[in-house]
């Protein structure tokens, strides 16, 4: 498979490693300093694009792939406010896009367990719930996309929660959390690849479910596997469409 990398930073470079290891070829690398190379002609040299750029860059990169009719895997987070418009355009133009807040198998297992547990916790109103995430200090968005996905999984399955609010610890936060709100507490600490915890707490105990990434390898390998899955497909997908956690 011929791959175009959109974003050649921490993730792009690790994705390159796994792609080459799996016998693929990198035919285009786009970063902030060679935007002029992001052309339909250049994109059409690839079979699939993989975007791990920035929240502000992802939409333009996605539409460049749509213009080139190139399937695109989007790992970049922080653009989900525009998800519906992107999905509509993708389907109208018969393109292919797969996105995911987290491409690691471990986190996608965590996403599934999180939803099942939230359903069970409807029977135990004594427990409050919150999500915590820790990432490196270079992360541009807060909360993490993974934390948003966890929070939405809880909101969709736990009747007593209807929205989430985010506190980036160390920045001003005056909100008084209402009982129907789910707090996502974000921490930024040097060199943390990604740690996510769902905490259910009562007066007498606390239950914690935690995923700790030891490196970015799980994310990167998952992105390459997702690109292999998407290459010959059309449509709009989420990474959870690849996993079958029956
Ligand atoms: N879904 C998942 O499993 C994962 C998602 N992510 C997400 O992926 C994104 C990237 O993460 P990470 O690699 O750590 O971040 P980095 O900052 O290390 O890499 C992003 C790269 O994109 C470059 N860039 C900036 N603007 C553009 C543009 N217009 N087109 C192409 N490239 C551009 C940046 O250049 P410069 O630095 O010069 O601005 C940088 O080299 C983040 O949104 C993060 O949340 C991360 C890990 C896993
Ligand atoms: O920025 C990162 O590093 C990561 N971002 C993703 C997110 O926002 O959830 C995935 C992973 O946690 C690493």
For residue 173, what pLDDT band results from cuts at 50, 70 and 90? Answer: confident
Residue with tokens 């987070």: 77
For domain 105-212, the CATH architecture is 2-Layer Sandwich (3.30)
- In this structure, which residue's CA is closest to atom 9 in ligand 1? 76
Q: Which one of 24, 135, 196, 211 is the catalytic residue?
A: 135
Determine the Cα–Cα distance for residues 198 and 129; give it in Å rounded to an integer: 7
Question: Which contacts (CB < 8 Å, 24+ apart) does range 146-152 have?
Answer: 146/77, 146/101, 146/102, 146/107, 146/194, 146/196, 147/184, 147/186, 147/196, 148/77, 148/80, 148/101, 148/184, 149/101, 149/102, 149/111, 150/110, 150/111, 150/114, 150/196, 150/198, 151/182, 151/184
Task: Say what the pLDDT of residue 202 is.
Answer: 98
pTM score above 0.90: yes
pLDDT digits (tens, 9 = 90+) for 112-131: 999 999 999 999 999 999 99
Give the burial string for 198-221 (b: 16+ CB within 10 Å, else e): bbbeeeeeeeeeebebeebebbbb
> Is 139 among the residues known to form the active site?
yes
Task: Say what the pLDDT of residue 245 is.
Answer: 77
Determine the Cα–Cα distance for residues 176 and 65; give it in Å rounded to an integer: 43
Cα-to-centroid distance, 127 and ligand 1 (Å):
37
Cα-to-centroid distance, 31 and ligand 1 (Å):
9
Give the number of other CB atoms < 10 A from CB of residue 240.
14
**Is the preceding omega at residue 143 within 30 degrees of 0, hence cis?**
yes
Task: Provide CATH code, domain 2-103+217-242.
Answer: 3.40.50.720
Strand-pair category, 25-30 with 2-6:
parallel
- Residues in contact with ligand 2 by the CB-under-6-Å rule are 77, 101-102, 135, 139, 144-146, 194, 219
Determine the Cα–Cα distance for residues 90 and 71; give it in Å rounded to an integer: 10
3-class SS at 87? helix
Nearest ligand to the C-alpha atom of residue 136: 2
Q: Is the interface score ipTM higher than 0.95?
A: yes
> Is 29 among the residues known to form the active site?
no
Q: Which one of 10, 29, 87, 139 is the catalytic residue?
A: 139
- Residues in contact with ligand 1 by the CB-under-6-Å rule are 6-12, 30-32, 35, 52-55, 57, 61, 75-78, 100-103, 145, 219
Domain boundaries, the chain: 2-103+217-242, 105-212
pLDDT digits (tens, 9 = 90+) for 15-69: 999 999 999 999 999 999 999 999 999 999 999 999 999 999 999 999 999 999 9
Cα-to-centroid distance, 170 and ligand 2 (Å):
19
Determine the Cα–Cα distance for residues 217 and 165; give it in Å rounded to an integer: 30
User: What whole-number percentage of the chain has pLDDT above 90?
Assistant: 96
């Amino acid at each position: 498979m011929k791959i175009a990398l959109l974003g050649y930073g921490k993730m792009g470079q690790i994705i390159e490693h796994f792609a080459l290891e799996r016998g693929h070829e990198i035919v285009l690398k786009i970063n902030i300093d060679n935007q002029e190379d992001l052309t339909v002609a250049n994109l059409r040299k690839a079979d699939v694009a993989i975007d791990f750029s920035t929240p502000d860059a992802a939409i333009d990169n996605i539409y460049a792939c749509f213009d080139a009719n190139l399937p695109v895997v989007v790992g970049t987070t922080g653009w989900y406010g525009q998800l519906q418009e992107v999905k509509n355009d993708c389907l109208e133009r018969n393109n292919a896009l797969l996105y995911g807040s987290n491409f690691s198998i471990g986190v996608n297992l965590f996403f599934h367990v999180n939803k099942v547990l939230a359903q069970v916790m409807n029977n135990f109103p004594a427990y409050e719930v919150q999500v915590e995430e820790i990432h490196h200090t270079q992360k541009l968005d807060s909360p993490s996309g993974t934390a948003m996905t966890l929070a939405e999984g809880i909101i969709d399955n736990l009747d007593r929660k209807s929205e989430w609010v985010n506190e980036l610890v160390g920045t001003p936060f005056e909100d008084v959390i209402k009982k129907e709100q789910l707090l996502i507490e974000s921490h930024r600490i040097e060199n943390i690849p990604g740690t996510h915890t769902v905490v259910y707490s009562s007066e007498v105990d606390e239950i914690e479910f935690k995923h700790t990434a030891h490196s970015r390898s799980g994310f990167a390998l998952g992105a390459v596997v997702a690109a292999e899955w998407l290459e010959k497909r059309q449509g709009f997908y989420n990474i959870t469409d690849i996993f079958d956690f029956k």
